[in-house]
Amino acid sequence: MTAMVREPHKGLKLERSGLCPKNYLIPDGVLAPLALDVFAEADSWMEPDGIVLVIEVTSTHADRDRRDERHCYAKGGIPFCLLVDREQRTVSLFSEPRSDEGREDYLQETRVIFGKPLEPPEPFSFTLDTSELSWPRVRAGGCAWSGRASRSRPGRWGR
């Protein structure tokens, strides 16, 4: 088990090329191992080094969230990308990033519909209970997903 720390809306510097149209992105959340302390001295825009998971909740630009941003995170070598898709009512966990020019993407996807649990692999030690991700709740201004994962302290993840 690895204790994690989360940071909402942290700006990430990424390399623009291929399928990644932007060099700066602000995911809805990021997770990094607590022991790495990557956020302590970080500027408002930071390199993705040490980030193990980015979280995206689809917005009014859902296709950008589903495709373009995912390609950028894969190109940046971020091991996992969690996508909460409000329109499709699914949660997807992308893993095994490939950063080849013009082919940036994740090789694996695990997808569940709202209401089904999602069990991320190591280094995570929680089951993501998506039962509270009902359409009105997610649409109304936020994602309630964090409330059901095992937490040791606010902002820290792990058992």
pLDDT in tens, 5-56: 889 889 999 988 777 778 899 999 999 999 999 998 888 899 999 999 999 9
Domain chopping of the chain, boundaries:
4-157
Q: What is the mean pLDDT of the chain?
A: 82
Structure-block tokens of residue 133? 């991700």
pTM: 0.81
Topology (CATH) of 4-157: tt1808, chain A (3.90.1570)
Cα torsion 104, 100, 80, 78: sign: negative
Q: Taking Cα atoms as reference points, which of 75, 87, 73 lies closest to residue 28? A: 73
